[in-house]
Amino acid sequence: MSLRNFLAEMHRKGEILEVKEEVSPRFEISSILKEFDGGPILYFDAVKRYDTKIVAGACGTRQRLCWALGVDTENLYQRLISAWQTPTQPKRVRDGPVSEVVEKARLSEIPILTHFERDAGRYITSAILSARSLDGEIENVSIHRLQVLDNRHLAIRLVPRHLFKLWQMAKEYKQDLDVAISIGTHPAVMLAASSPISLGVSEFDVANTLLSNRLRLIKCENVNAYAPADAEIVLEGRISTEKEVVEGPFVDATGTYDVQQKQPVIELINMMYRRDHVYQALLPSGSEHKLLMGLPREAAIWESVSKVVPSVKAINFSIGGCSWLHAIISIDKLVDGDAKNALLAAFSAHPSLKHAVVVDTDIDVFKLNEVEWAIATRFQAGEDLLVIPKARGSTLDPSANQETGLTTKLGLDATRPLTKPKVKFEPAKIPSSKRATKIIHALRKSPLNETVVRGL
């Protein structure tokens, strides 16, 4: 199962917009991506100075991710969670389409984009990185931004999560960490790579379950790592445990420039690619970035909150909250403390979560006016506010302490109190009348001015 299988399916559904004019990978492609963000998949036929075509936005809508996993929107969380719980080993093959050409790594051959005005340079943003512990016991797959330093070197943003841990373990043995950097993989592989599962569970195994046992891996020639055999491009390299550079500036999920920090250097050895490979681009802070980051966390919050309250109806990782920092959760509560426990469960399921609102199930979490109305009419800060200072948050947030990662978390219980009559909190209704409905229907159809003139 490959990115191109998925693109062929999306082509049949009319989801791809072809850009035939020649465009530059420096700012031009990113500005077109920004304009069509959340819309169709964009396929760039003619990239200035390159023969390679570029595709972006494959994972840019919730619907496309559902198609990638073969599920309805209602079953998306369950599908992801059950794959996290039942990982299965993919088939390992000797050769795959990606090993068609193997040569010395040359990043100048790949049309890597420069996205934003003050970005430090060209950045690979869609790659999944797979690495194994030195004893081969632990495999991890995750997505990291990669800054191009020169033809054979990248700087990697290594947040303290699983790959960082493997790198630290290698460092103890004074060895660099082998890594496979795969570009152009099936959306299910990307979703698995952004899933919050425990260290020790391979995201490839989760992807294999999501793909109904159709993921194939090949062993890299020069490094101790596996990569999807159907990827478009694979770079083989080593994350240095000695060499560091200042990484950034770079725009991340919040759409603001992330802080510059000293980060490890990756030394590239080989690259493998399909002869007719497509380069997969991903606009930082675009809907594809937000969905890949946010959706697995929504599922994790759904699972965690479901354990402490009787029923969770919906979760919205709102776009305004960068699909990372804000969550709106609707629950059916049994007793008044339920919403606070839901907030605690949400914060523990997603360490970067900063603000969370819990509402009753009569509120649509995707309609922000309804959510604000619930806060206006069902929330009392003196009783319903939860403030947790100095908790671990996201360093992406410019208002947090970006050095220590500490932030203040805020939870709002905007569910109606059970101590007061329900009727006091319900929106007033107007009795329905068939006549009024008929008139409204007619009014909707008539042009505005004519209606008024005839009445006069």
The catalytic residue positions are 252
The least distance separating Mn ion from the CB of residue 171, rounded to whole angstroms, comes to 18
Select 162 or 289, whichever has its Cβ closest to Mn ion: 162
Residue 385 β-bridge partners = 412
* Minimum CB distance to Mn ion smaller for 162 or for 350: 162
Rounded CA-CA distance 24/415 in Å is 51
Based on CB atoms, which residue is closest to Mn ion, 140 or 352? 140
By the rule CB under 5 A, 280 interacts with Mn ion: no
Task: Please calculate the CA angle 250-252-258 and round it to the nearest 5 degrees.
Answer: 55
d(CA 9, CA 221): 32
Residue type, 290: K
Cβ-proximal residues to 347 (8 Å cutoff; 6+ apart), any chain: 353, 356, 388, 391, 409, 411
Contact 184, 277 (CB under 8 A): yes
As measured in angstroms, the least distance from the Cβ of 58 to Mn ion is 22
Window contacting Mn ion (CB under 5 A); options: 125-133, 161-169, 361-369, 382-390: 161-169
Number of residues that bind Mn ion (CB under 5 A): 2
Shortest approach of Mn ion to residue 295 CB, angstroms? Answer: 16
DSSP one-letter string for 272-312: EE-TT-EEEE--TTSHHHHHHHHHHHHHHHHHHHHHHSSEE
Interacting residues of 198 by C-beta distance below 8 A, sequence separation 6+: none
- 3-state SS, residue 355: strand
Task: Determine the interface stretch with Mn ion among 156-164, 246-254, 356-364, 398-406 (rule: CB under 5 A).
Answer: 156-164
Kindly tell me which of 114 and 140 has the beta carbon lying closer to Mn ion.
140
Residue 162 in the binding site for Mn ion (CB under 5 A): yes
Count of residues making up the chain: 456
Judged by CB, which is closer to Mn ion: 88, or 256? 88
Shortest distance in whole angstroms from residue 203 CB to Mn ion: 6
Find the shortest distance in angstroms from Cβ 324 to Mn ion: 18
**Phi, psi dihedral angles at 310 (to 5 degrees):** -55, -45
Query: Does 115 participate in binding Mn ion (rule CB under 5 A)?
Result: no
Residues 125-154 vs Mn ion: string with x where CB under 5 A?
A: ---------------x--------------
Q: Which residue number has the CB closest to Mn ion?
A: 162
How far is Cα 326 from Cα 343, in angstroms, rounded to an integer?
12
The residues of the shown chain that bind Mn ion, judged by CB under 5 A, are: 140, 162
